[in-house]
A and B are shown apart, each in its own frame.
Chain A
Amino acid sequence: MKHLRRVLLKFYQLFANSKAEAELAREIAAHLALLEDEYLRRGMPPEDARRAARIAYGGVEQAKQLHRDERGFQGLSQILQDTRYTVRQLGRSPGFTATAILMLALGIGATTAIFSIVEGVLLRPLPFPDPDRLVILGDVLEGSNCATCTRPGVTAPDIRNYMRDTQSFSHLGGYRGRLFELSGTAEPAAVNGTRMSAEVFAALGVPPLLGRTFTQQEEADNQQLAVLSYGMWQSRFHGDANVLGTRILLYRKPYSVIGVMPRGFEFPLNPGHVNQSEFWLPLSLQPEEFTAGGAAAWNSRMVGRLKPGITAERAQSDTERVARDTMRDYPAYMHSLRIHAVVTPLHEDTVEQARPLVHTLFFAVMVVLLIACANLAGLLLVRAIRRRREIAVRLALGARAATLLRQAIVESMVLSIAGGAIGLALAAVTLRVGVSLLPQTLPRLKEIALDWPVMLFALVLALLTGLLCGLAPAFAAIKTSVNETLKEGGRTGTLGSGHGRLRAALVVAEIAVALTLLTASGLLLRSFEKMRDVKLGFRPDHTLAALYVLPHQRYGTQSAIDEFTKTLRNDLEQLPGVDAVGVTSFLPGAGDHWNIAFTIEGYVSPQGAGLNMATTSLVQGDPFEVLGIRVRRGRVFTESDNAGSPLVAIVNRKLAERYWPGQDPIGKRLRRGMPETSTPWMTVVGEVDDVKLGSADAETLPQVYQPVTQTVASKGVFATAGELNASDGWIVLHTRMAPEQMQATLRATMRQIDPQLPLYQMQTMERAIANSETPRRFITVLISSFAIAALLLSVLGIYGVIAFSVALREQEMAVRMALGCQRSGVILDILSSGSRLAVVGCGLGLLGAVAASRLLRSFLFEVSPLDPGVLALSASAMLLLTLAASALPARRASMTDPVLALRGE
Chain B
Amino acid sequence: MSNKDKESIQLLQGTLDLIVLRTLATMGPQHAYQIATRLQQISDRLLNLNQGTLYPALVRLEQYGWIKGTWGRTESNREAKYYEITKAGQKALGEETKTWRRMSALVERLLIQES
**CB within 8 Å of B: which residues of A?**
2, 5-6, 9-10, 24, 26-28, 30-31, 33-35, 37, 56-60, 62-63, 66-67, 69-71
CB <8 Å contact, B60 and A70: yes
Can you name 15 extra interface pairs (CB under 8 A) apart from A2-B92, A6-B64, A56-B50?
Answer: A2-B64, A5-B63, A5-B65, A6-B60, A28-B52, A31-B32, A34-B80, A57-B51, A58-B50, A59-B50, A63-B52, A66-B53, A67-B56, A67-B59, A70-B56
Q: Among the listed A6, A30, A59, A63, which residue makes an inter-chain contact with B78, where contact means beta carbons less than 8 Å apart?
A: A30
Q: Among the listed A2, A10, A58, A71, which residue makes an inter-chain contact with B51, where contact means beta carbons less than 8 Å apart?
A: A58
Check: B74 CB closer than 8 A to any chain A CB.
Answer: yes
**Known A31-B51, A56-B51; contact A71-B59, beta-carbon cutoff 8 A:** yes
Check: B81 CB closer than 8 A to any chain A CB.
Answer: yes
Q: How far, in whole Å, are A14 and B63 apart by their CA atoms in the complex?
A: 14
> Inside 8 A of A6's CB, which chain B residues have their CB?
60, 63-64
> Inside 8 A of B52's CB, which chain A residues have their CB?
28, 57-60, 62-63, 66
**CB within 8 Å of A: which residues of B?**
31-33, 50-53, 55-56, 59-60, 63-66, 74, 76, 78-81, 92
**Most chain-B CB neighbours within 10 Å: which of A6, A57, A69?**
A57
CB <8 Å contact, A67 and B55: yes
Q: Smallest Cβ distance from B68 to chain A, in angstroms?
A: 13
CB <8 Å contact, A66 and B56: yes
> Inside 8 A of B80's CB, which chain A residues have their CB?
30-31, 34
Smallest CB gap from B55: residue in A: A67
The 9 closest A-B pairs by CB, nearest first: A58-B50, A63-B52, A70-B56, A58-B52, A34-B33, A6-B63, A2-B64, A67-B55, A66-B56
Q: List 17 A-B contacts (CB under 8 A).
A: A2-B64, A5-B64, A9-B63, A10-B63, A24-B55, A26-B81, A28-B52, A31-B51, A34-B74, A34-B78, A37-B78, A57-B51, A58-B53, A62-B52, A66-B52, A69-B56, A70-B56
CB <8 Å contact, A70 and B33: no
Smallest CB gap from B49: residue in A: A58
Q: How far, in whole Å, are A5 and B86 apart by their CA atoms in the complex?
A: 15
> Inside 8 A of A5's CB, which chain B residues have their CB?
63-65
> Inside 8 A of B92's CB, which chain A residues have their CB?
2
Q: Smallest Cβ distance from B80 to chain A, in angstroms?
A: 5
CB <8 Å contact, A35 and B33: yes
> Inside 8 A of B59's CB, which chain A residues have their CB?
67, 70-71
**Known A34-B33, A34-B80; contact A57-B50, beta-carbon cutoff 8 A:** yes
> Inside 8 A of A24's CB, which chain B residues have their CB?
55
> Inside 8 A of A60's CB, which chain B residues have their CB?
52
> Inside 8 A of A26's CB, which chain B residues have their CB?
79, 81
Q: How far, in whole Å, are A63 and B36 apart by their CA atoms in the complex?
A: 14
Q: Among the listed B50, B51, B79, which residue makes an inter-chain contact with A30, where contact means beta carbons less than 8 Å apart?
A: B79
> Inside 8 A of B50's CB, which chain A residues have their CB?
56-59, 63
Q: How far, in whole Å, are A308 and B53 apart by their CA atoms in the complex?
A: 66
> Inside 8 A of B81's CB, which chain A residues have their CB?
26-27, 30
Q: Smallest Cβ distance from A751 to chain B, in angstroms?
A: 84
Q: How far, in whole Å, are A59 and B52 apart by their CA atoms in the complex?
A: 7
Q: How far, in whole Å, are A733 and B50 apart by their CA atoms in the complex?
A: 103
Smallest CB gap from B52: residue in A: A63
Q: How far, in whole Å, are A613 and B52 apart by their CA atoms in the complex?
A: 94
> Inside 8 A of B79's CB, which chain A residues have their CB?
26, 30
Smallest CB gap from B57: residue in A: A70
> Inside 8 A of A33's CB, which chain B residues have their CB?
78
Q: How far, in whole Å, are A34 and B32 apart by their CA atoms in the complex?
A: 10
Smallest CB gap from B65: residue in A: A5
Q: How far, in whole Å, are A335 and B83 apart by their CA atoms in the complex?
A: 101
**Known A2-B65, A34-B80, A37-B78; contact A27-B56, beta-carbon cutoff 8 A:** no
Q: Smallest Cβ distance from A444 to chain B, in angstroms?
A: 53
Q: Smallest Cβ distance from A466 to chain B, in angstroms?
A: 33
> Inside 8 A of A71's CB, which chain B residues have their CB?
59, 63
Q: Smallest Cβ distance from B78 to chain A, in angstroms?
A: 5
> Inside 8 A of B31's CB, which chain A residues have their CB?
30-31, 34
Q: Smallest Cβ distance from A255 to chain B, in angstroms?
A: 72
Q: Smallest Cβ distance from B92 to chain A, in angstroms?
A: 8
Smallest CB gap from A58: residue in B: B50
> Inside 8 A of A56's CB, which chain B residues have their CB?
50-51
> Inside 8 A of B64's CB, which chain A residues have their CB?
2, 5-6
Q: How far, in whole Å, are A35 and B76 apart by their CA atoms in the complex?
A: 12
> Inside 8 A of A57's CB, which chain B residues have their CB?
50-52
**Known A2-B64, A27-B81, A30-B81; contact A37-B51, beta-carbon cutoff 8 A:** no
> Inside 8 A of A9's CB, which chain B residues have their CB?
63
Q: How far, in whole Å, are A492 and B31 apart by their CA atoms in the complex?
A: 57
> Inside 8 A of B51's CB, which chain A residues have their CB?
31, 35, 56-58
CB <8 Å contact, B32 and A27: yes
Q: How far, in whole Å, are A69 and B78 apart by their CA atoms in the complex?
A: 28
> Inside 8 A of A35's CB, which chain B residues have their CB?
33, 51
